[in-house]
């Protein structure tokens, strides 16, 4: 049989096979691929409905992207320059980004 899941998932597929066995692991891996493809397809075909009915506009998405970029920038500094552990770096970086967002929105 063809094994697309091993090419896509790599070591994760090996873990699935080790957990469920050869046949069921093959089926679970390929079901994950089909499910992901279906999710992407339905999201793509319904993007206009999602955009119209979600209540999010351009400013909301820009705000989310800004918080994400600030978090990533601070995370890079905390882990790269200061050598902080990963978990606390993410928490402190997100808290710092949200504080900066609060300062801009409330104090401005």
Residues 32, 12, single domain; the answer is yes
What tens digit of pLDDT does each residue of 38-89 get? 999 998 998 888 878 888 888 898 999 999 999 999 999 999 999 999 999 9
Q: What is the mean pLDDT of the chain?
A: 92
Distance CA 47, CA 86 (A): 34
Residue 36: pLDDT over 90: yes
Residue 37: per-residue pLDDT:
96
Residue 52: per-residue pLDDT:
84
Residues 72, 32, single domain; the answer is no
- 99 vs 53, residue with greater confidence: 99
Residues 39, 63, single domain; the answer is no
What is the mean predicted confidence (pLDDT) over 5-21?
92
Q: Which of 52, 90, 54 is nearest to 70 (CA)?
A: 90
* 62 alpha carbon, distance to own chain's centre: 17
Residue 51: per-residue pLDDT:
79
For residues 43 and 54, the answer to whether their CB atoms sit within 8 Å is no
Residue 7: per-residue pLDDT:
92
User: Percent of the chain at pLDDT above 90?
Assistant: 77
Residues 63, 98, single domain; the answer is yes
Q: List the beta strands (DSSP E) in 10-95.
A: none
> What is the pTM (predicted TM-score) of this model?
0.57
Which residues form the domain of 80? 56-107
């Amino acid at each position: 049989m063809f094994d697309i899941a091993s090419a896509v998932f790599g070591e994760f597929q090996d873990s699935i096979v080790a957990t469920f066995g050869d046949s069921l692991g093959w089926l679970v891996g390929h079901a994950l691929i089909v499910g992901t493809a279906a999710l992407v397809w339905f999201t793509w075909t319904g993007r206009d409905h999602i955009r119209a009915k979600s209540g999010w506009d351009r400013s909301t998405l820009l705000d989310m992207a800004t918080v994400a970029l600030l978090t990533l920038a601070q995370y890079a500094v905390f882990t790269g320059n200061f050598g902080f552990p990963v978990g606390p770096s993410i928490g402190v970086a997100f808290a710092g980004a949200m504080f900066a967002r609060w300062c801009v929105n409330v104090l401005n």
